[in-house]
Amino acid sequence: MIAQLTGQIAHRGLDHLIIDVNGVGYQVTVPLSTLYSLPESGTVSLRIHTHVKEDALQLFGFATGDEKDLFTLLIGVSGVGPKLAVNILSNIGADELRQALAFGDSKRLAAIPGIGKKTAERLVVDLREKVEADGSVPAAPAAAGRPGAPRDLREDALSALVNLGYKAAQAKKVLDSVDADGLGSVEEILKTALRQLVR
């Protein structure tokens, strides 16, 4: 079983990377948070979950052990497969996901594309105690915070905009003006920010 890959980025897709390890290219499906945190090229190291099916072997990669741990918890829930787990991690930061699970915020989870009310409630029921038990749940966010997109999503969107060639200061200014109400994913925040940047 492959647990970690270290190699050169040979290709970047919308939801995957091809990592060249000594001349062998491994296709690795990754959440957006991992994709945006990595450089455009060069050597990277990913934590790997190897998913084995009857007719295929698929690799899922994560920039941090925390993301991989959350992925492992998610796929242990009935009805949540690897692709849905990656989708969840692409649409909510690790800290925010732990908060939502620990505080029973099924409404926040249900706002993630592909997650309905029943699945959100099942995630809370199955994972609440497990997340609390590992002692890594961040404090609940204060009611009055800085305006704009939620912190984890904002950071992912900022990284994506910088990778697209925008200056960090310019991207931060636009993201600070984005109204995050109803924007439950990095993609939605990016679309809104890009509309302002191309005016």
pLDDT at 196: 74
pLDDT at 146: 43
Regarding pTM above 0.85, the answer is: no
Q: Answer whether 180's CB lies under 8 Å from 143's CB.
A: no
Average pLDDT, the chain: 83
Using the Cα atoms of residue 181, residue 186, residue 191 and residue 194 in order, give the sign of their dihedral. positive
pLDDT at 136: 58
CATH class belonging to 65-133? mainly alpha
Q: How far apart are the C-alpha atoms of 90 and 23, rounded to whole Å?
A: 29
Average pLDDT over residues 68-90: 94
Domains of the chain, by residue range, sit at 4-62, 65-133, 151-197
Residue 82 pLDDT level (bands cut at 50, 70, 90) = very high
CATH class belonging to 151-197? mainly alpha
Q: How far apart are the C-alpha atoms of 42 and 92, rounded to whole Å?
A: 27
Cα angle 106-108-111, degrees, rounded to a multiple of 5: 105
Which has more confidence, 182 or 19? Answer: 19
The CATH code that applies to domain 4-62 is 2.40.50.140
Task: Find the range with the poorest average confidence among 33-37, 42-46, 48-52, 175-179.
Answer: 175-179
Average pLDDT over residues 123-136: 82
Give 23-27's long-range contacts (Cβ < 8 A, gap of 24+). 26/2, 26/59, 27/59
Q: Rg of the chain's alpha carbons, rounded to an integer?
A: 17
Residue 118 pLDDT level (bands cut at 50, 70, 90) = very high
Q: Two tokens at 117?
A: 């009310």
Average pLDDT over residues 33-57: 90
